[in-house]
Structure 1
Amino acid sequence: MQQQVQNIEFNSSLNPLKQIEVTTNVHKFGGSSLANAQCIMRVVEIIKDNATLNDFIVVSANGKTTDQLFALFESTDNKEQFTVQLARLKNTQTALIHELLDSSQASKLLQQIDEDVAFIDSQFTNSFKNSRNDVLAFGELWSARLLATVLNQNVCKANAIDARKVLILDSTNNFQLNEQLSKQNIVLEKSANQLNILTGFIASDEQGNSHTLGRNGSDYSATIAAHLLNAKNVTLWTDVNGVYSADPRIVNTARKLFRLENSVAKELGRLGNPILHANTLNPLTTHNIHLNVASSFAPQDSGTEIGAFGEIAKSEISVTHNNELIKIDSNEFTAKILEQINTRFQPIYQCQNKTCIVISQQFADLALQYLQEQNINLTTKNVSLIAVVGYQIANRGEIKARFKRALKHTDIAQFVGSSNGHSLLAFFEHESSVELINKVHSQVTKDSRNIGLVIAGLGNIGKRFLEMLPQQLSRVPALENVHLVGLASSKQALINTDGIEVSKALELFQQDSLAYDNQLLLDWLSQHPYDELVLVDITPSEQFSNLYQAFFEQGIHVISANKCAGASSTATYKKLLSTQYNTGSQWLVNTTVGAGLPVNYAINDLLNSGDTINEVAGIFSGTLSWLFSNFDGSLAFSQLLLNALEQGFTEPDPRDDLSGLDVQRKLLILARLAGFELELEDIDCQNLVPNSLIGLSVDEFLGQVNLLDQYFANKLQEAQQQNGCLRYVARFSKTESGYNARVGLEILANDHAFANLTPCDNIFLLTTNWYQDNPLIIQGPGAGRDVTAGGLHSDLVNLCRELAVKTKEVEIKGIN
């Protein structure tokens, strides 16, 4: 029964655990996560940040304690060596206690250590014949007692539970878990109003005999506990921040698998993955329990989530290997014997004619003992395995072909698909080399990076971008692993990490989108399960552009048609660039100026080639280009403006175009790209809207728009008298003392390069050290849904090509 919040008691004024009672979660901490005092205090912080009093904590033995206990068994013929090793083991434990606890808290634990060490010493004379498992259990017992006491001293009341009082194995049924009795026991042993710390690795049978669950059995203990408690989540805190596409210790190009489908994860564990283990996932299958693998050394990093996911997660591919396998051949296997082998020893493979099995070396002694008891004639051979694992991968012909090509010219003993279809297996009669494992990984996973795509802004350009997306995804190889996972308007958002069907995206958005605010959007995106996340901002919103800093901090890439961030204050702009650089995020802004025209590319190319930009000038507004190209006096300026509004050439409020702010921002963006440091206010901007019309509503402005006519008629007459024309021009030029920058209405000669544009076109003039007498000119449509959406797609393709070859360094921060 859940307790009321007000009844929870805490031992100190330090930050307590979250006091909100929620569904039970299980957190398991491995030996490397608890290796020393610093690690243990880090675990305490993780518990404070991530656990409630309703949760269970499962612990392994501290550091190398279990290895030290096993070493004692190898010294049973040498008392002196045994005594030295036992003293070293005791010193390790007492040093941890003294380092972490004050004297009053430490005294009880030290007394228990003395008693436990005396018991271990007493077992030397009988060579631990009947007490091996009791001795091995001390590693987890010491760890649980210590963590519970540290929590009692620093955080909240905690209760250490010996799993042998909880997890009961049925000795009459191959030592399978007695679920009913274990469920009763865990309810009886857990303490209300305290955080319960359960020992991993150990269990007992109905007679009270101690048993272990095998190496890495603490993971199994955690998932058993989650099953018994009907928990919502299990988190395995380890020294690697997730499950990778190969062992990152030997394959440095391995990528994190953020999401794994249950059956694929189980297959990885069955084959010997270093993070997942054979039995770990079994207890989770009857409940909708998610398994998370995270790093206690980097708890802020997203780990790997394992559960029931859709097609994107099912497309993941990984490579695993195992050099510790035994092949047993015999012509005398019966159906009954093979049934026992499958139940008790978890074979990796059984050949079709039922004359051979391959099992892990950890089961070899027991399996051979069993077969000898059956009077079976057999032969054994050490073998190794390289396996490619993925959802129904045995039916994916292109992956099978790549795997076989990678194995060409190797002395492969056997190549088979697993019976469940989730793996392709290659066996060798020698150890698999690091070089071959890397080669296989490179060949079969080269196209497997998953990129999530979020589109913000579903106006004309956003809809056109979506219309073009299905063909782009099928046509461009660089977009092969791009998945649409998010859509957002100004008030509604649809985020689906299993993917949004592109052809029905807008329809699904109308049906399933939810109201959101910026913080909720950031929370959603921070949980994304992809190698990379790309956000395409097609909004005009300054408020939305304020999220870029948070996006970059999360490593999210941004493709922007939104000019606000690029034209923000120098301090903000520099901070964005710095964060982007430090996190490896990419920020592509090629459609902020000139829509699909390659003016940004040109500036970057010139600078990368060693040139210097001395002047940037041109007509940057498609709206103002249309207005002044068509303004010849035959129509009043106001009538021309209303015509442009009706045809969709202006913003809904034409003053947004006439103010010059859009052109001013574009000039600032180009000047910054050219390497100059300036603010928006440093660019002199001529607002074509008189003061009397600025503060009006849109309807009021449109009702009085004829007040613009006299001014523009006079300016046109002045231009015609000079045999020229009116154009709204942006100019930035380098000077000896700095620069000049302005945007405004100019009278140009009729033969000027800016004078003879097709209405709506933009033109950009770049004067550089190399292009002085004959400046570089880029001209073409500077607005429009097709060219802008196309420019965004160009950015997406270029970004994905770059991300395809991106690798992240994997840090393994454990005690090794």
Structure 2
Amino acid sequence: MTESQRPQNKLAKHAVNVHKFGGSSLANAQCIERVVDIIRQNCQLNDIVVVSANGKTTDSLFAILAQTESSDLTAALSELEQQQLLLINALLNEKSSKQLTPLLSTDIVQLRTWLSNDIIQHRNDILAYGELWSARLLSALLNEKICPSNSVDARDFLVIDNEQNCVVDHALSSAQFKTRLQFGKLAVITGYISRDSRGKTCTLGRNGSDYSATIVASLVGANNVTLWTDVDGIYSADPRVVPNARKLHRLPNGVAKELGRLGNPVLHAKTLMPLVNENLSHHCHLHVASSFDSQVAGTEIGTFGNIAKQELSVTYLNDLILAKSASFIADLADDVAGSSRASLFKKALVEFSPICSDGEQGFIVINQYQQKALSQWLASHDVEVTFIPTAIIATVGHNVAQRGDIKARFKRSLKSAQPLFLVSSKNNHSVIAVLAEPCSTELLNKVHHDMTKDSRHIGLVIAGLGNIGERFLELLPAQLNRIYALENTHLVGLLSSKKALINNDGIDVNQALSLFKQEAKPYNNDELLAWLSNHPYDELIVVDITPSEDFSLLYQDFFTRGIHVIGANKWAASSGTEHYNTLVNTADKNNSLWLGNTTVGAGLPINYAIADLNNSGDTITAIAGIFSGTLSWLFETYDGSTAFSTLLINALNQGITEPDPREDLSGRDVQRKLLILARMAGFELSLDDIDCTNLVPENLQNISREEFLARVNELDDYFANALTDANKKASCIRYVARLNVDETGNIQAKVSLEVLPQTDAFANLTPCDNIFQISSHWYQENPLIIRGPGAGRDVTAGGLHSDLVNICQQLTHKQHLVKIKGIN
């Protein structure tokens, strides 16, 4: 943390981010050092850090509470002390170690006293030591390596009503918290522990540190909370059980809360309570990220648009009890009349917060540990009840209970399981099936597949909004509506050379260009790459419709981030051999797809044909053709009746040539296209390996465009003589690209003006057409020929859409590796 990053006045001590680190993230010295690096890269002094106990420390304390033999207790305390000493000595310098070691010894003495004399009275005090030691150690390490820091015992400010409800006294806790923050120091706060109004230590339940983090965020009005854990986000099912679970990049608050309530292994319902409190004026987003792979974007929980609301997930809970009673049956008439039956059912809902319930069917579903309490409560009301062991499986998503198609699909997927009941949650964010048997792995995987098989979301970024880019966008709405492979593809970014419009909630494809004009902001490459590194989609595709070499240099960064590229831009595909090979290897390493059908031949499927021959086992021996629509038009039209220079100016005025026609006449474009096809065919070539005939005389090559156009008639004699000589041979002149491989494997490649017989396949084209001729072991006597428009607004935009459909079809079957370090 640099001096410029540190707050310069007390007003800066407003927490903008809360970072919570779980026990697995702090399990050993290596993990803690990784956490320090995360804090160095992601925290400011005005942020707050919340910590769990190191590793399994809390488990050890629970085990110690269960010890009965004094010898066992002594051994367990000694082992616990040694574990903490190992961390202290491994991480801290001598000075800091000498400060913490006596404090630890004092704590162990206190623990031994409480365990020997008054274990019941001090049970929670004993459990609190894990977080105290963790906060103290991390704060000392931060003081050494990063910035000034102080550890804060949450019991000094956090007040709750009791351990059962864990409702925070917000006003008192907030006032007391402000007195504990020290200006110029990064606060490291204990998770999991608090106190009640009498000053007695309370815990917030297992995994309560997550709840601590969101409570702290609500107390200080933080903008973001990041839960650094051992998985890289929230998944559509428990990834330990469902290998095909996919990351849910963004979850609406209500959906996340419902997921936590229904058994998600990472989220817990209490965690979200402070963030969805409608009485709080500030808005806070929750992030779940992996401390073991901090560069991977995790899951964000907050308020989002329609794309995030389309997410579906499947969760389950076993070991439940269904309590059924006639006294629970409460129809509408009972409810209106305020009958005892209706009120009893409502009281049960308040008292036991069941997993699900149905007043018409007369049942509630609770956790098994609640059975005794419920039985006693109902006995006090003189009510008979039947208990049935059950389980649940649920589909969770925004308002899924109101989506008939989702409910019907869920019901179909459960046909073999024959659920007892199918009920909707009160918040409409889940549809829950009550099962007579525990939810099996097979059932969970089947239901997950049926519910989420079409839910992969693909973000689309369009770079280049010129003539072709505009046409691509004009075609996009219809394509998204009629092509199944594009069903979950969303336009999320538009880029020109200087401005960008990025919207994670999607850009209306019907108003894309007008929205860009109204809302686009200046950007630089660093800002673009920062967003691309944290995009909230399963996959991201960049469609490069620019002619920019600078933009093509970003491909390496795209591929490093696992981003896919569709390129009409020829620069990357025809770059130097070393750079090109690096791009290909980086794309392969990161599972990025790179398609560039329109780099050669506009929408003609020449790249597909070459790739298909290679992938099918054929061997290509020659590639030839006319690859330039401009040169095709010029030489198909030039018959000598009009001077070549006049024809060239006419083509320029019609937009057939580049603004400087020498770009076409130089042959460099054709040379690059031949190189791209050669590489596609598996040959390792560079531009220097391809001889190129420049049709512009040397004395006209290095002058200004204006001077060239003024002297363009100097081209006439050369082309007139060439045409005359060809006519004498009943032939014509064409600018041709050729690559040949001889029997020894030697490659000859060139692009040049050739004299061809009038019967040649390249001699009689529609002006502007391209033609490609491929010879191979399979196509020897009669080469494969592909011919058609090689340029044009519609065909090029269509070729890009062809690549888009192709890439989305491939991504449908792509599976991401779930990185799990161990879900607590």
Q: TM-score, normalised by structure 2?
A: 0.93
Q: How big is the shift at 1:369?
A: 6.8
Conserved? CA contact 2:19–2:48, under 8 Å: yes
Q: Work out which of the residue numbers 280, 283, 292 in structure 2 matches 1:297.
A: 292
Between 1:445-454 and 1:708-717, the stretch displaced more is 708-717
Instruction: Give aligned-pair identity as a percent.
Output: 57
Q: Work out which of the residue numbers 793, 804, 811 in structure 2 matches 1:796.
A: 804
Q: How big is the shift at 1:198?
A: 0.7
Between 1:640-649 and 1:716-725, the stretch displaced more is 640-649
Q: Report the aligned-residue RMSD.
A: 2.4
Q: How big is the shift at 1:196?
A: 0.7
Q: How big is the shift at 1:324?
A: 4.0
Measured in 2, the distance between the counterparts of 1:384 and 1:94 equals 44
Counterpart of 1:787?
A: 795
Conserved? CA contact 2:626–2:736, under 8 Å: yes
Measured in 1, the distance between the counterparts of 2:376 and 2:22 equals 31
Counterpart of 2:249?
A: 258
Q: Describe the shift of the 1:363–1:157 C-alpha distance in structure 2 as closer, same or farther (beyond 3 A).
A: farther
Between 1:517-526 and 1:370-379, the stretch displaced more is 370-379
Q: Describe the shift of the 1:145–1:360 C-alpha distance in structure 2 as closer, same or farther (beyond 3 A).
A: farther
Counterpart of 1:24?
A: 16
Measured in 2, the distance between the counterparts of 1:561 and 1:116 equals 67
Conserved? CA contact 1:20–1:52, under 8 Å: no
Measured in 1, the distance between the counterparts of 2:509 and 2:500 equals 15
The one-letter code matched in structure 1 to 2:67 is S
Measured in 2, the distance between the counterparts of 1:245 and 1:80 equals 47
User: Are 2:152 and 1:161 equivalent residues in the alignment?
Assistant: yes
Between 1:100-109 and 1:453-462, the stretch displaced more is 100-109
Measured in 2, the distance between the counterparts of 1:354 and 1:4 equals 64
Measured in 2, the distance between the counterparts of 1:437 and 1:778 equals 49
- When the two structures are aligned, how many residues end up with a matched partner? 804
Between 1:380-389 and 1:295-304, the stretch displaced more is 380-389
Unaligned runs of 5+ in 2: 329-339
Counterpart of 1:535?
A: 542
Q: How does 1:475-554 map to 2 (within 5 A)?
A: 475-554=482-561
Q: Describe the shift of the 1:73–1:737 C-alpha distance in structure 2 as closer, same or farther (beyond 3 A).
A: closer
User: Are 2:564 and 1:557 equivalent residues in the alignment?
Assistant: yes
Q: What secondary structure, in the 3-state scheme, does the structure 1 residue paired with 2:271 have? A: coil
Q: What secondary structure, in the 3-state scheme, does the structure 2 residue paired with 1:322 have? A: strand
Counterpart of 1:130?
A: 121
Q: How does 1:217-296 map to 2 (within 5 A)?
A: 217-285=208-276, 286=280, 287-296=282-291
Counterpart of 1:107?
A: 98
Measured in 2, the distance between the counterparts of 1:366 and 1:215 equals 21
User: Are 2:202 and 1:202 equivalent residues in the alignment?
Assistant: no
Q: How big is the shift at 1:55?
A: 1.0
Between 1:642-651 and 1:300-309, the stretch displaced more is 642-651
Conserved? CA contact 1:302–1:527, under 8 Å: yes
Counterpart of 1:70?
A: 62
Counterpart of 2:335?
A: none
Between 1:173-182 and 1:32-41, the stretch displaced more is 173-182
Measured in 1, the distance between the counterparts of 2:373 and 2:31 equals 36
Conserved? CA contact 1:485–1:495, under 8 Å: yes
Q: Describe the shift of the 1:20–1:660 C-alpha distance in structure 2 as closer, same or farther (beyond 3 A).
A: farther
Counterpart of 1:650?
A: 657
Between 1:335-344 and 1:392-401, the stretch displaced more is 335-344
Q: Work out which of the residue numbers 587, 597, 621 in structure 1 matches 2:628.
A: 621
Between 1:208-217 and 1:685-694, the stretch displaced more is 685-694
Measured in 2, the distance between the counterparts of 1:214 and 1:719 equals 91
Render the CA deviation track for 1:381-421: whole Å, top value 9, x for unaligned.
44322111111111222222221122112142211111111
Q: Describe the shift of the 1:441–1:323 C-alpha distance in structure 2 as closer, same or farther (beyond 3 A).
A: same
The one-letter code matched in structure 2 to 1:182 is S
Q: Work out which of the residue numbers 750, 753, 757 in structure 2 matches 1:745.
A: 753
Conserved? CA contact 2:14–2:220, under 8 Å: no
Counterpart of 2:307?
A: 312
Q: Work out which of the residue numbers 42, 47, 53 in structure 1 matches 2:39.
A: 47
Measured in 2, the distance between the counterparts of 1:707 and 1:367 equals 100
Conserved? CA contact 2:52–2:134, under 8 Å: yes
User: Are 2:77 and 1:86 equivalent residues in the alignment?
Assistant: yes
Render the CA deviation track for 1:588-641: whole Å, top value 9, x for unaligned.
011111111111111111112222111111100111101100100111111111
Q: Work out which of the residue numbers 177, 180, 191 in structure 1 matches 2:168.
A: 177
Q: How big is the shift at 1:126?
A: 5.7
Conserved? CA contact 1:24–1:232, under 8 Å: yes
Q: How does 1:292-691 map to 2 (within 5 A)?
A: 292-330=287-325, 342=349, 345-353=352-360, 355-360=362-367, 378-691=385-698
Conserved? CA contact 2:691–2:751, under 8 Å: yes
The one-letter code matched in structure 1 to 2:124 is N
Q: Work out which of the residue numbers 124, 133, 137 in structure 2 matches 1:146.
A: 137
Q: How big is the shift at 1:104?
A: 3.1
Render the CA deviation track for 1:14-60: whole Å, top value 9, x for unaligned.
xxxxx997752100001111111111111111111111111111011
The one-letter code matched in structure 2 to 1:241 is D
Q: Describe the shift of the 1:519–1:635 C-alpha distance in structure 2 as closer, same or farther (beyond 3 A).
A: same
Q: Describe the shift of the 1:611–1:5 C-alpha distance in structure 2 as closer, same or farther (beyond 3 A).
A: closer
Measured in 2, the distance between the counterparts of 1:350 and 1:414 equals 10
Q: TM-score, normalised by structure 1?
A: 0.94
Q: Describe the shift of the 1:20–1:162 C-alpha distance in structure 2 as closer, same or farther (beyond 3 A).
A: closer
The one-letter code matched in structure 2 to 1:62 is N
The one-letter code matched in structure 1 to 2:472 is F
Between 1:580-589 and 1:32-41, the stretch displaced more is 32-41
Q: What secondary structure, in the 3-state scheme, does the structure 1 residue paired with 2:269 have? A: coil
Render the CA deviation track for 1:145-167: whole Å, top value 9, x for unaligned.
12112222322222111111111
Q: How big is the shift at 1:781?
A: 1.2
Q: How does 1:28-39 map to 2 (within 5 A)?
A: 28-39=20-31
Measured in 2, the distance between the counterparts of 1:696 and 1:306 equals 59
Conserved? CA contact 1:151–1:158, under 8 Å: yes
Counterpart of 1:215?
A: 206
Measured in 2, the distance between the counterparts of 1:480 and 1:502 equals 14
Conserved? CA contact 2:15–2:220, under 8 Å: no
Conserved? CA contact 1:183–1:229, under 8 Å: yes
User: Are 2:687 and 1:696 equivalent residues in the alignment?
Assistant: no
Q: Describe the shift of the 1:781–1:267 C-alpha distance in structure 2 as closer, same or farther (beyond 3 A).
A: same
Measured in 2, the distance between the counterparts of 1:341 and 1:72 equals 36
The one-letter code matched in structure 2 to 1:730 is A
The one-letter code matched in structure 2 to 1:68 is S
Render the CA deviation track for 1:468-498: whole Å, top value 9, x for unaligned.
1111111111000000011112222211111
The one-letter code matched in structure 2 to 1:118 is V
Unaligned runs of 5+ in 1: 10-18
Q: How big is the shift at 1:173?
A: 11
Render the CA deviation track for 1:50-77: whole Å, top value 9, x for unaligned.
111111110111111112222233334x
Measured in 2, the distance between the counterparts of 1:263 and 1:488 equals 33
Q: How big is the shift at 1:684?
A: 1.1
Q: How big is the shift at 1:557?
A: 0.3
Between 1:584-593 and 1:117-126, the stretch displaced more is 117-126
Q: What secondary structure, in the 3-state scheme, does the structure 1 residue paired with 2:128 have? A: helix
Q: How big is the shift at 1:103?
A: 3.8
Conserved? CA contact 2:462–2:544, under 8 Å: yes
Conserved? CA contact 1:494–1:514, under 8 Å: yes
Conserved? CA contact 1:558–1:586, under 8 Å: yes
Conserved? CA contact 1:330–1:356, under 8 Å: yes
Q: What secondary structure, in the 3-state scheme, does the structure 2 residue paired with 1:279 have? A: helix
